[in-house]
Amino acid sequence: MSELQLKNLYDDFRDAKVIQSLAKEIEEEAKKLNRQINIMEVCGGHTHTIMKYGLLQLLPENIDFIHGPGCPVCVMPKERIDHAYTLAMQEDVILVTLGDMIKVPGSNGSLQNARANGADVRFVYSPLDSLKIAKENPDKKVIFYAIGFETTTPMSAALLDSVIKQDIKNLLFHINHVVVPEPMRVLLDDKECAINAFIGPSHVSVITGSKIYDEFPANYQTPVVVSGFEPVDVMQGILMIVKQFNEGRCEVENEYGRAVSKEGNITAQKLIEKYFEKRDHFRWRGIGDIKKSALKLKDEYASYDAEKIYADILPEKKIDDHKMCICGEILKGKAKPMDCKVFGKACKPNSPLGSCMVSSEGACAAYYKYGNLL
pLDDT in tens, 51-105: 999 999 999 999 999 998 888 888 899 999 999 999 999 999 999 998 878 888 8
Alpha helix stretches (DSSP H) within 221-297: 231-246, 266-275
| 3-state SS assignment for residue 366 | helix
DSSP, res 66: E
Confidence label for 362 from pLDDT (cuts 50, 70 and 90): confident
Task: Look at 26-40, 282-296, 316-330, 336-350 and tell me which has the smallest mean pLDDT.
Answer: 316-330
In this predicted structure, the answer to whether residue 150 has a pLDDT above a threshold of 60 is yes
pLDDT at 8: 53
Task: Look at 74-88, 259-273, 357-371 and tell me which has the smallest mean pLDDT.
Answer: 357-371
Determine the average pLDDT of the residues in 127-156.
97
pLDDT at 1: 54
Residue 334 or 277, more confident: 277
pLDDT at 85: 97
CA angle 228, 234, 235 (to 5 degrees): 145
In this predicted structure, the answer to whether residue 4 has a pLDDT above a threshold of 80 is no
Q: How many CA atoms lie within 13 A of 373 on its CB side?
A: 16
Specify the pTM.
0.92
In this predicted structure, the answer to whether residue 3 has a pLDDT above a threshold of 60 is no
Q: CA distances (Å), 217 to each of 63, 80, 187, 237, 243, in order?
A: 19, 33, 15, 16, 15
pLDDT at 373: 47
pLDDT at 311: 96
Q: What is the chain's mean pLDDT, rounded?
A: 92
d(CA 213, CA 210): 6
Task: Look at 2-16, 178-192, 298-312 and tell me which has the smallest mean pLDDT.
Answer: 2-16
% of the chain surpassing 70 pLDDT? 97
In this predicted structure, the answer to whether residue 335 has a pLDDT above a threshold of 50 is yes
d(CA 43, CA 106): 23
Neighbours of 295 (CB within 10 A): 23
Residue 1 or 56, more confident: 56
Element (H, E) at 89: none
Element (H, E) at 143: strand 141-148
List, in order of start, the domains of the chain with CATH numbers. 3-69+182-250 (3.40.50.11750), 74-178+264-309 (3.40.50.11740), 321-363 (no CATH)
d(CA 372, CA 315): 41
Q: Which amino acid is at 186?
A: V
Determine the average pLDDT of the residues in 118-131.
95
Residue 117 or 34, more confident: 117
Confidence label for 22 from pLDDT (cuts 50, 70 and 90): very high
pLDDT at 59: 96
Determine the average pLDDT of the residues in 255-276.
97
pLDDT at 162: 98
pLDDT at 6: 47
pLDDT at 2: 54
73-105: buried (b, 16+ CB within 10 Å) or exposed (e) per residue?
bbbbbbbbbbbbbbbbbbeebbbbbbebbebbb
